[in-house]
Amino acid sequence: MEMTPIAVSALAGLLERRTGQQLVAGRRWRIETILKPLLRDLGFETIEALVIRLRGDEASPLADKIVDALLNNETFFFRDLSCFHHFTSEGLGLLHAARLGQRRLRIWSAGCSTGQEAYSLSLAIGAQPRFAGWDIGIFATDLSAEAIGRAREGLFNQFEVQRGLPITDLMRHFVQEGEAWRIKPGVRAPITFLQHNLLSPPPPGRFDAILCRNVMLYFSPQRQRMVFSRLREAIAKDGLLMLGAGETILGQTDDFASDRELKGLYRPV
């Protein structure tokens, strides 16, 4: 049965009010597929019945479950490999030179989903001898409590480890548990996972680099400017910002400018 416009509008409104993210037209056709497991688990036959049960109580556990399901948690290891390598080689190279005196590096993975980006950063930094002995801190945040819970667990199924993760890294840095793979404590050690809304004040401290990839796509222009302002609060004056391959600052913010040397990376203004 096709969803009614009222049900679609109610779900889109719930998501935007709770998270600031818009349920754009290109994603609305997937609502039934996304919510099907939730309907089954809770015993609802239709999306409309779910919306009726919600009854405007947007602070209820049911609303939490709906929002968590509607959030796009698409991610994988070493996503957009050429861009990721550009950041971890040239970008971190500049930060390494700038932080030699402190030998300390703080990175924020904003919108980390189930943790593959944060773990990829830990693997990439750990493979670079120039960072041996450094104090490395990776703060990984996401709005979804369920995604953060999975990220903390560090347990990935076969499909997930096959998406972008080199077999050498899998065999060296993961332990097989049944049909799943758990990341080893040494890779997990530098990472702190936190639930966080990008529209809220940022985590404490200043970050040398922020990765906020494929998140801005879901915000309205007004909220994009708000998020950029939050990121500007959180970044060091000589820090680096990395966005998704299809994202840009052009026409969105005056808080950042393109780095003159590193294409695709941005500096605070």
pLDDT in tens, 196-245: 999 999 998 999 999 999 999 889 999 999 999 999 999 999 999 999 98
pLDDT for the residue 8: 87
Nearest CA to 171 out of 159, 184, 160, 153 is that of 184
- Would you say residue 25 has pLDDT above 80? no
pLDDT for the residue 26: 67
Q: Which residues, 6+ apart, have CB-to-CB distance to 59 below 8 Å?
A: none
pLDDT for the residue 2: 63
The pTM (predicted TM-score) of the whole model is: 0.90
Q: Which residue has the higher pLDDT, 29 or 9?
A: 9
Distance set, CA 143 to CA 1, 3, 20, 36 (Å): 31, 26, 11, 21
Place 58 in a pLDDT band, splitting at 50, 70 and 90.
Answer: confident
